[in-house]
Structure 1
Amino acid sequence: MIRWSNSNPLGLAAAARGLRFLSSSRTIKEHDVVLLRQHGSKYPRWHLSSPLRPDALVKLSYGASVPAADIIGRNALDVVLDSRGHEVVLHEPSLASYVVNQSGERSATPIYPHDANTIVSLLDLHPCRPGEDEAEHEADHGPPLEMFEAGTGMGSLTLHLARAIHAANPPVPSSLRLAFCRAAMVSDRFACDVRLSPEHQAARDTYAASRRVILHTLDNKLKHLNAAFKLVRDFRRALYLPSIDFHTGSIDGYLSERLAQSGGQPFLYRAILDLPGAHENVELVAQALHPNALLVVFQPSISQIADFEARNRQTNLLRLEKVLELPVTTITNGLHDSVGGRQWDVRMTFPRAQQEGSDKMVQVLRPKVGDRIGGGGFVAVYRRWPVGETPAASVADEGEKEVGSSEAEPTPVASVADEGEKEVGSSEAEPTPTASVADEGEKEVGSSEAEPTPAASVADEGKKEETTQCSPPAGVDGNDGAVVVDLKHLQHFSMDTRTWTATIGAGTRLGDVTRKLHEAGGRAMSYGTS
Structure 2
Amino acid sequence: MLRQCKRSHKQILVGPLQVDKSYETHKGVLYHKNIIGRQPRDRLYSMTREGNGAEYVLHTPTLEEYVLLCKRQCTPIYPKDASAIISMLDINPGDRILEAGTGNAALTMHLARAVGISGKVHTVENIVGRSKHAKEIVQHYRRGLLLPSISFHIGLLSNRKGGNLIAPLFDGLVLDMPTPWTQLPFVFAYLKPDRYAVCYLPNMSQVLDLVRACQRWPLILEDVVEVTWRSWELRMAVIRNQDTSQSNGDAMVCHPTHTPIGHTAFLVKLRKSSTAAIK
| TM-score scaled by length of structure 1 | 0.47
| Equivalent residue, structure 2, for 1:48 | 13
Amino acid at match of 2:131: L
Structure 2 counterpart of 1:66, one-letter code? L
1:319 to 1:59, Cα distance in 2 relative to 1, 3 A: same
Q: Which of 95, 100, 111 is residue 150 of structure 1 equivalent to? A: 100
Residue 165 in structure 1 maps to residue 67 in structure 2: no
Once residues 83 and 244 of structure 2 are traced to their aligned partners in structure 1, the CA distance between those partners, rounded to angstroms, is 51
- Of 114, 117, 121, 2:87 maps to 121
Structure 1 residue 266: Cα displacement? 6.5
What secondary structure does 2:20 align onto? coil
- In structure 2, the CA distance between the partners of 1:44 and 1:267, relative to structure 1 (3 Å rule), is closer
In the alignment, what sits opposite 1:251? 157
Q: 2:155–2:161: 8 Å Cα contact kept in structure 1?
A: no
What is the aligned partner in structure 2 of residue 97 from structure 1? Answer: 65
| Cα deviation code 1:440-460 (max 9, x no counterpart) | xxxxxxxxxxxxxxxxxxxxx
Structure 2: gaps spanning 5 or more residues: none
Paired AA for residue 74 in structure 1: R
How far apart, CA to CA, are the structure 2 residues paired with 1:352 and 1:108?
A: 49
1:62-101 alignment runs, 5 A limit: 62=27, 64-83=28-47, 84-85=51-52, 86-101=54-69
Number of aligned pairs? 272
CA offsets, 1:144-163, max 9 Å, x none? x5321111112111111111
Indicate the SS of the match to 1:295.
strand
**Greater share of strand:** 2
Alignment of 1:217-228 (within 5 A): 217-228=123-134
Shift of 1:388: 5.3
The answer as to 2:275 corresponding to 1:387 is: yes
> How does 1:38-437 map onto structure 2 within 5 Å?
38-39=4-5, 45-62=10-27, 64-83=28-47, 84-85=51-52, 86-103=54-71, 106-127=72-93, 146-166=96-116, 168-169=117-118, 213-254=119-160, 258=164, 267-315=169-217, 317-327=218-228, 340=229, 342-350=230-238, 355-359=243-247, 360-370=249-259, 372-387=260-275
Q: Distance in 1 between the 2:9 and 2:225 partners?
A: 38
RCO higher in 1 or 2 (8 Å CA, sep ≥ 6)? Answer: 2
**Take 2:161 and 2:267, find their aligned partners in 1: how far apart are those partners?**
22
User: Aligned AA for 1:323?
Assistant: V
Answer with 342-351 or 353-362: which moved more.
Answer: 353-362
Unpaired segments ≥5 residues, structure 1? 1-34, 129-144, 170-212, 328-339, 390-530
Q: Which TM-score applies when normalising by structure 2?
A: 0.86
Distance 1:351 1:60, change over 3 A: farther
- d(CA) in 2 for partners of 1:221 and 1:214? 21
Question: Partners in 2 of 1:239 and 1:368 — Cα distance?
Answer: 33
Identity, in percent, stands at 33
Contact 2:126 2:156 in 1 (8 A): yes
1:36 aligns with 2:27: no
Whether the aligned pair in 2 keeps the contact of 1:151 and 1:219 (CA below 8 Å) is yes
Letter matched to residue 114 of structure 2: A
What's the secondary structure of 1:65's corresponding residue? strand
**Higher Rg:** 1
Q: Distance in 1 between matches of 2:3 and 2:276?
A: 59
- CA distance in 2: counterparts of 1:376 and 1:43, whole angstroms: 25
CA distance in 2, matches of 1:287, 1:300: 26
Q: Distance between the aligned counterparts of 2:129 and 2:241, measured in 1?
A: 56
CA shift, 1:116, in A, is 0.7
> Structure 1 residues 354 and 55, CA, compared in 2 at 3 Å: closer, same or farther?
farther
Name the SS of the counterpart of 2:142 in structure 1. Answer: coil
Residues 1:354 and 1:297: Cα distance change in structure 2 (over 3 Å): same
Letter of the 1:75 partner, please give it. Q
2:122 counterpart SS class: strand
* Structure 1 residues 375 and 164, CA gap change in structure 2 (3 angstroms): farther
